[in-house]
Amino acid sequence: MTDAAHAAMWERLDLDLEAHDALLAVLGKFYGDIYLSQQGRLKGAEYLDFVLSEVHGLRIREIQEAKAAGKKVVGTFCVFVPEELTLAAGCVQVGLCAGAKAGTELAETLVPRNTCDLIKSFVGFKLARLCPYIESCDLVVGETTCDGKKKAYEAFGELANMHVMEVPQCKGPCDLALFRSEIGRYKEALEKLTGKAVTAEALAEATRRVNAKRRALQRLGRLRAADPAPISGRDALLVNQISFYDDPDRFTAKVNELCDEMETRIARGEGVAPKGTPRLLLAGCPMAVPNWKLPYLIESSGAVIVGEESCIGERNSRDLTDETPADLEAMLDALAERYMKIDCACFTPNAERLEHIAALAKELGADGVVHYGLLFCQPYAHEALKVGKAMEAAGLPYLAIETDYGMEDAGQLKTRIEAFVETLA
C-alpha cells in the first residue's frame, strides 16, 4: 500500500493528517530505539516489526475491507469484554490501545487532570482525531471497572456509539449472576448492531478460536521459564499488545511459529541475554502500545523480563473458556465463569492476585518482582502495598514503581532499577 493510499484512507477516516503524521514519526523513532536496537532477537520478531510498521496501514485497510463486506467493528478497553461473543456475532474486535500521551490538553477538558494516562490517552486520541481504530469502530464497549474509566465513559459516550458492561466489584454468587446477565445484554447489543442472532454454532467456533489464541500465548509464557531467556520482555510484551488488534487466526499461527523457534533456541542453550542474567517479573497495570518505557529501562539495566502479570500479559491468557457446553445458554454461563476469574485490582477482596504473582514468579524462575502502577491509578496503587508484603513473605525481592507516560522521570527510574538489579546479581 503506497503512502498516498494510506493518506487517502486516513483522510476518509477524518484523522487530523498533520498531527497523525507527527505521531507516526515519533512512534517510528521510539520503536527503532527500543526494539530494533535489541541484540539476538528471534527471526519471528519480523512479524512483530511488520505488524507495528503497518499498525495504521495494512491492518486498518483490512478492517475497512471487512466493513465494506458488511462486518461491524467493535472497540474495547478492557479484557472483560468477551471476544468470543464479538467474533460469534461476525464482528471484528480491536483493543483501543491508549498507551501514548496524545491530545492530553483536549482530554483534560473532559476528564480531571489527576486521571491516569491510560484514560487520558483514549480520550485524547479521540478528541485529537489521531486513531484510525477508534474512527473505524461501529460500537465501543466500556466497562464499570475503576472509577476513572466509568466516569470517562460518560463523557466518551457523547463522542462514540457506546455500550457499557457492568463489571461487579466482588466475586460472590450474586456477582457472577450479575455478570452473566451483562453477558446476555452484550449479546443483545451485538445482535442489534448486526441485525443477526448469535447462534450456538458460531459461539462454539469463536470460543475455539479465542482459546487457540490463549493457548499460543500460554505456550509462549511457559517457554520463558528457560534460562537463558529465549525472548526479551520487550518482544513478549509486543506479542501481547498485538494480540488485541491483529487478526486472531493469523496471530495464533504466528505466535506458534515464534514458539517453535524459541524451542529450538532453548534446545541449543541460546537466548537474548547470557544465562544467569537477573530475571524479573513485571506486575501491575496494563501497558498498551506504545507504552514500552519501563520494559526498556529494565532491560537496559542488566536484567531480563520473563513475564508480565498484567492484562496485556498473563492475566489475559491464563484462563480458557470451557468448550464443552453444547447449548447457547450453557456457553454463555461458561463465558461468565471464565471472565469472572480475572483478578483485576478493581475487585475487593482480591487475594488471588497475590497468590498468582507469587506462583508465576516461581514458575518463571524470577529473581525479583517489579510492580508497575500508573500514576493516579488507585486500585493498583493500593495493591502495590499488598503485593510488596506478599513478595516479602515469598522471599522475593520487590520494587514498586509509579510512573506515567512521560519520559521526564526516565533517568531517576533507571537509577532505582539499576540499584535494584545490582542487589539480585
Comparing CB distances to ligand BJ8, the nearer of 136 and 145 is 145
Our finding on whether 80 is near ligand BJ8 (CB under 6 A) is yes
Closest approach, Cβ 81 to ligand BJ8, in A, equals 9
User: Cα–Cα distance between 72 and 69 in angstroms, integer?
Assistant: 9
Q: Which of residues 236-255 bind ligand BJ8 (CB under 6 A)?
A: none
Closest approach, Cβ 282 to ligand BJ8, in A, equals 14
93-125 in b/e burial notation, b at 16+ Cβ within 10 A? bbbbbbbbbbbbebbbebbeeebbbbbbbbbbb
Our finding on whether 421 is near ligand BJ8 (CB under 6 A) is no
Closest approach, Cβ 267 to ligand BJ8, in A, equals 35
Residues in the chain: 425
Our finding on whether 288 is near ligand BJ8 (CB under 6 A) is no
CB 248 within 8 A of CB 334: no
Comparing CB distances to ligand BJ8, the nearer of 278 and 286 is 286
Our finding on whether 286 is near ligand BJ8 (CB under 6 A) is yes
DSSP state of 36: I
Q: Which of residues 159-188 bind ligand BJ8 (CB under 6 A)?
A: none
Cross-strand partners of 372: 284, 401
CB 257 within 8 A of CB 44: yes
Closest approach, Cβ 300 to ligand BJ8, in A, equals 24
Q: Tell me the window of 128-136, 144-152, 183-191, 251-259 that interacts with ligand BJ8 (CB under 6 A).
A: 144-152
Closest approach, Cβ 141 to ligand BJ8, in A, equals 11
Three cell numbers, residue 328: 447457547
Between strands 279-284 and 398-403, the pairing is unpaired
Three cell numbers, residue 115: 486521571
Comparing CB distances to ligand BJ8, the nearer of 218 and 378 is 378
CB 20 within 8 A of CB 10: yes
Our finding on whether 217 is near ligand BJ8 (CB under 6 A) is no
Closest approach, Cβ 37 to ligand BJ8, in A, equals 28
Our finding on whether 118 is near ligand BJ8 (CB under 6 A) is yes
Closest approach, Cβ 146 to ligand BJ8, in A, equals 3
Sign of CA dihedral 229, 233, 238, 241: positive
CB 254 within 8 A of CB 235: no
Our finding on whether 142 is near ligand BJ8 (CB under 6 A) is no
Number of residues counted as binding ligand BJ8 (CB under 6 A): 20
Q: Which of residues 328-387 bind ligand BJ8 (CB under 6 A)?
A: 342, 344, 346, 374, 377, 379-380
User: Cα–Cα distance between 419 and 286 in angstroms, integer?
Assistant: 24
Comparing CB distances to ligand BJ8, the nearer of 41 and 338 is 338
In the shown chain, the binding pattern of residues 295 to 314 toward ligand BJ8, with x for contact by CB under 6 A and - for none, equals ----------------x---
Closest approach, Cβ 213 to ligand BJ8, in A, equals 17
Concatenated DSSP letters for 72-122?
Answer: -EEEESSTTS-HHHHHHTT-EEEE----S--SHHHHTTTS-TTS-HHHHHH
Closest approach, Cβ 117 to ligand BJ8, in A, equals 8
List the one residue from 15, 92, 119, 354 that touches ligand BJ8 (CB under 6 A).
Answer: 119
Q: Tell me the window of 20-28, 83-91, 115-123, 270-278 that interacts with ligand BJ8 (CB under 6 A).
A: 115-123
User: Cα–Cα distance between 27 and 261 in angstroms, integer?
Assistant: 28
> Which residues 6+ apart lie within 8 Å of 424 measured at CB?
278, 303, 367, 368, 397
List the one residue from 78, 89, 128, 165 that touches ligand BJ8 (CB under 6 A).
Answer: 78
Our finding on whether 82 is near ligand BJ8 (CB under 6 A) is no
Chain position carrying cell 529450538: 264
Our finding on whether 148 is near ligand BJ8 (CB under 6 A) is yes
How far CA 247 is from CA of 60, 93, 164, 331, in Å, comes to: 11, 9, 24, 23
Residues that bind ligand BJ8 (CB under 6 A): 78-80, 116, 118-119, 145-146, 148-149, 285-286, 311, 342, 344, 346, 374, 377, 379-380
